[in-house]
Amino acid sequence: MLLIDKYAYFNRLKHIHPVEKMTFALFLLLFALTVKDTIVSLITFTVTSAFIILGAKIPPRYYIKLLLLPGFFLLSGIFTILISFASVETVTPDTLWSAELGNWKVFITENNIEIAMNLIFVVLSSISCLYFLTLTTPVNAILQVLRKLKVPQLLIEIIEITYRFIFVFLETAIHIYQAQNSRLGYMTTKKWLHSLGLLISSLFINVFKRAKELTIAMDSRGYTEDIMYIDDNYQYSAVNWLIITTIIASIVAVYLLFGGTL
């Protein structure tokens, strides 16, 4: 079991109804993405991070590691927004920094910094909302809610099987890598390339083999078209709904107070 899945099953918010957690996370996510306001994004990130660390008791170090994962993609996007190019004859107002490269000019403006900062805060708030749902709610509980919402059964089964095979894929890759590494398979560049090729080819063969075994196991248990589920019992809480409503109303009020419009 991966650590992120382990925390989803063993955290202090696991008993809360998944509908309450999904409503809370998805509303904040959609609101932050819709208004794209820096203050709203900061509040959303702070609130969801507080629930993750203080409410669900997820270790802060692990949560920071999770936030760093999309950092590479965020930085690559930020640089393309932050740095602009133009010919040396082009007039660029509000320039904070510039340098000439032959007939071209590289520059950064106040507007670029403002857009880049806003993008960072919106992305962080969106990621924190998704991490809140991922770290506090098992995937079975999320699928249970999707079934209640009458999402097509085929889509739910595809999601569940895909989720399961992500773990199979990672587990197989780790075992193959450890076996190769114990035999010094990554000591030199030539060995590294050879071992990587063997890892990729073996990985796909093993995953297809596991997929075939899964199909045989499902057929032997009478699988026809639908997978049967046993739903967990959750209870709605009036206190939780009051807290969710208060937080959502407060964020919307702050947004309107600082000049936002709906």
pLDDT value for 240: 94
Rounded to 5 degrees, φ, ψ at 106 are -105, 130
Residue 4's CB: how many other CB atoms inside 10 A? Answer: 13
Q: What is the percentage of the chain residues whose pLDDT exceeds 70?
A: 97
Most confident range, picked from 45-54, 172-181, 188-197: 45-54
Question: Could you give the angle at the alpha carbon of 20 between the alpha carbons of 16 and 22, nearest 5°?
Answer: 110
Q: Which two tokens stand for residue 113?
A: 């910094």
Work out the average pLDDT over 204-221: 82
Q: What is the percentage of the chain residues whose pLDDT exceeds 90?
A: 34
Q: Does 1 score more than 70 pLDDT?
A: no
| Residues listed for the chain | 262
Q: Does 62 score more than 80 pLDDT?
A: yes
Burial classification of residue 79, based on how many CB atoms lie within 10 Å of its CB (0-12 exposed, 13-18 middle, 19 or more buried): exposed
Q: Does 15 score more than 80 pLDDT?
A: yes
Whole-structure pTM over 0.85, yes or no? no
Contact 67, 45 (CB under 8 A): no
Residue partners of 170: CB distance under 8 A and separation at least 6: 2
pLDDT tens-digit map of 244-256: 999 999 999 999 9
* pLDDT tier for residue 225 given thresholds of 50, 70 and 90: low
pLDDT tens-digit map of 104-162: 888 888 888 888 888 899 999 999 999 999 999 988 899 888 888 888 888 888 888 88
Q: Does 93 score more than 80 pLDDT?
A: no
Higher pLDDT, 78 or 238: 238
Q: Give all strands of the β-sheet with 84-87 in edge-to-edge order.
A: 84-87, 104-109, 95-101
**Rounded-to-integer distance, Cα 262 and Cα 257, Å:** 12
Residue of 116, 170, 186, 118 whose CA lies nearest to 4: 170
Buried b (16+ CB within 10 A) or exposed e, 81-117: ebebeeeeeeeeeeeeeeeeeeeebebbbeebeeebe
- For residue 15, the 8-state DSSP code is T
